[in-house]
Amino acid sequence: MMFSARQAEIMALAREQGRVLVDELAARFAVTPQTIRKDLNDLCDARALNRIHGGAVYPSGNENVKYEARRSMAATEKQAIGRAAANLIPDNSSLFINIGTTTEAVGEALIDHRELMVITNNINVANRLRVYPSIEVVIAGGVVRGSDGGIVGEAAVDFIRQFKVDFAVIGVSAIDEDGALLDFDFREVKVAQAIIANARHVILVSDASKFERTAPVRIGHISQVQTFITDHCPSSSIRDICAEQDVRIIETAPEASDAAAE
């Protein structure tokens, strides 16, 4: 489902504060409590929030919210990240794009590029780019995950290993303070690891909310990427690791990091 502007703002407040209350939201938006309850019910039905008495809470860090809910979260930030990543990818390039709402934003930003070969295990990316004659789309085979259109499993891993490309664009579910890149599905992780191993330049794309989450399966380490693109990086330890490992950080909203440091 697509969230309304008010629901998107409620999501942002919940992410920032941890929880939101019906009465406070009704006063903030000058609407009735019944209207807010409907908004919260919609958000909770999409598993973007969890209902509590009198309001709702942002999902715990280890909960993988539904794909449509994730697409609506930090949408503006993801679009900016997508444009920044597309700016690094020249025409006449080959690249992998893996599963994720932020990687989809990169795919959207590539539509004006010329003579690209895009290899992906993301049905949403393939479907978006297939209509552009200047972009050749190659899609992995394997098990299609119903929740998000991702193609996973050993067949997808074997398919990816046939290629050696110029760039890889990868997303993750969480970034740990020690630099570990994490996800929820070990089958997806195997594909992501193959993508990293078979690209000359790996671009990690992730909005800042991934620093607030955790996930149980390790993809790899941030030192394995060449460029990390985010809206802002609030973690000093991640900044230190990137500096030590010569990983370039590109922030699309660096003023947010400056404000957090003050």
**What's the per-residue H, E or C state across 19-40?**
EEEHHHHHHHHCCCHHHHHHHH
Top-ranked range on mean pLDDT: pick from 17-21, 210-214, 241-245: 241-245
Q: What is the pLDDT of residues 116-155, one digit of tens each?
A: 999 999 999 999 999 999 999 999 998 888 778 899 989 9
Domain residue limits, the chain: 5-59, 74-261
User: What is the pLDDT at residue 65?
Assistant: 56
> In the structure encoding, which two tokens stand for residue 149, read together?
């259109």
- Of 241, 94, 240, residue with least CA distance to 168: 94
Give the torsion through C-alpha atoms of 175, 129, 112, 83, to 10 deg.
-10
| Domain 74-261 in the same topology as domain 5-59 | no
31 burial class (0-12, 13-18, 19+ CB within 10 angstroms)? middle
Q: How far apart are CA 74 and CA 209, in angstroms?
A: 8
Average pLDDT over every residue of 73-86: 91
Confidence of residue 62 (pLDDT cuts 50, 70, 90): very low
Q: Is 18 exposed, middle or buried (0-12, 13-18, 19+ CB in 10 A)?
A: exposed
Q: Which residues pair with 180 in a beta bridge?
A: 221
Nearest Cα residue to 188 out of 201, 175, 171, 211: 171
Question: What per-residue confidence (pLDDT) applies to 113?
Answer: 97
| pLDDT of the residue at 194 | 97
- The strand ranges marked E within 78-221 are 94-97, 116-120, 135-139, 143-145, 150-152, 165-170, 174-175, 180-183, 199-205, 217-221
User: How far apart are alpha carbons 192 and 195 in whole angstroms?
Assistant: 5
Distance CA 165, CA 93 (A): 8
Q: Are 204 and 225 in contact (CB under 8 A)?
A: yes
Q: What is the pLDDT of residue 71?
A: 65
Instruction: Give the domain 5-59 fold.
Output: Arc Repressor Mutant, subunit A (1.10.10)
Q: How large is the C-alpha radius of gyration of the chain? A: 19
Q: Are 143 and 174 in contact (CB under 8 A)?
A: no
Choose which CATH entry (3.90.45.10, 3.40.50.1360, 1.10.3720.10, 3.20.20.70) describes domain 74-261.
Answer: 3.40.50.1360
Instruction: Let me know: does 199 contact 97? Beta carbons within 8 Å.
Output: no
Bridging pattern class, strands 150-152 and 143-145: antiparallel
Output the average pLDDT for the chain.
90
The pLDDT tens digits for 187-211 are 889 999 999 999 999 999 999 989 9
Measure Cα distances from 30 to 8, 21, 36, 68 in Å: 16, 14, 10, 27
